[in-house]
Amino acid sequence: MIQDVSIRWEEDGQPCSAVWHSENGIAPHKKVVTADDTLTADDAYRLACEGTAILWKGDFQNARQLLQALIRRIDKPSKKSKRSSKRVGKSEEILTQKTAKDIFNQHRLIQSQRARTLGMLLIPCNADHTIPLRRAPDLSQACMEAYGAVTHPYVVSLRELLGVVSAHEWRKNGLPILADENGEPVYVHPHYGVFSPVRGEYIELVCNAPLPKSLDVESTAFDIGVGTGVLSIILAMRDVQKIVATDQDDRAIKCAKENIALLGLGSQIELVKANLFPSGKASLIVCNPPWVPARPSSSLEHAVYDPDSQMLKGFLAELKNHLLPQGEGWLILSDLAEHLDLRTRQELLSWIEDAGLLVLGRIDTKPKHPKAFDDSDLLYFARAAEVTSLWRLGIK
């Protein structure tokens, strides 16, 4: 929802203000200047690097081009840095070697600084979500989906606004997750702020893992952290008769509800707003928690980052209390955190042991996403070694 805080600037010598919106929780910028099509990319980049936000008053399409120019300037190393890197000798490289955790922290710092700079280009929006700029497209539907109804004009970064547009396209077009019995693709439609299941390898694991025999006696499953509803949908299509899916995020609950309704699976899947487990017990409990134990920098990152592995440890600690006899818990987890020295395999195994659980089996797969093959990525060393696993857990 649009936040009830204001951003202030001067225009033609007069003080102006509007409601400020930031999904990342960024405070309203203190230094704001207005600009139009006469502003050069170099001047815009200088202002953004100095911490001055730019409220755009020119042509909307020119603002998009300006953002692309800022991206090129951020992502392209300067000539000075190139010359410096060439002068670094092998002995200096050894001295400057960092741990995997150091590299991960450096990566997050770079991404944070990049996002901060690119977020300095701001766009005004009317209370009906229209944009009062020349050649501005009608983005009102996309903004309504992401932000809901508002009562006052607001200001948002162009980068966030384009993210809203991208999410709208995902929601409209959908994402194929598997084929039905007739070979036709089955789609889920991610909403803004709900993690999109683009990592197909974990979906394949849930599609192909052998179902526990206990489902023949009690065909009930829990899906912990439903997100788009993708895992519940897969279980329903694998003939699990009753699935109770939980999430504590309202956007996720709404998204899952719409996807389940579109596929006509409402009689099989019940949605409950809860932190982790619903009441009762099930023959199968699946959970795909955030894979990286680090602090999220915004609400949009909660599906990726789990501080101190809180959700993972909470799931393991309570799992046995919600499993029926001979039931199984399926933990879908990447070992990326292990390659980044953020969590060890022994820690994970000790949490499983301490929770009164045992490992019945494990199914592994390698990731297929583009970053796993991009050797220019700072975290390539970890992504190239990453394995995603479905851990089959039972009660001791």
Alpha-helix residue ranges (DSSP H) falling in the chain: 41-49, 60-75, 79-87, 90-95, 100-118, 140-147, 158-173, 200-208, 230-237, 250-262, 310-319, 336-339, 345-354, 380-383
Predicted confidence (pLDDT) per residue in 304-332, tens digit: 889 999 999 999 999 999 999 999 999 99
- Residue 122 predicted with pLDDT over 50: yes
Percent of the chain with pLDDT over 90: 79
Instruction: Provide the mean pLDDT of the chain.
Output: 91
Q: Are 228 and 190 in contact (CB under 8 A)?
A: yes
Instruction: State the pLDDT at residue 148.
Output: 94
Instruction: State the pLDDT at residue 192.
Output: 94
**Which CATH number is 174-395 given?**
3.40.50.150
Predicted confidence (pLDDT) per residue in 55-107, tens digit: 999 999 999 999 999 999 998 854 543 443 343 343 334 335 689 999 999 99
Residues 6+ apart with CB under 8 A from 353: none
Which is it for strands 323-334 and 388-395: parallel, antiparallel or unpaired?
Answer: antiparallel
- Residue 378 predicted with pLDDT over 60: yes
Q: What dihedral do alpha carbons 209, 215, 289, 263 form, nearest 10°?
A: 90
Domain extents in the chain: 6-170, 174-395
| 85: number of Cβ within 10 Å | 10
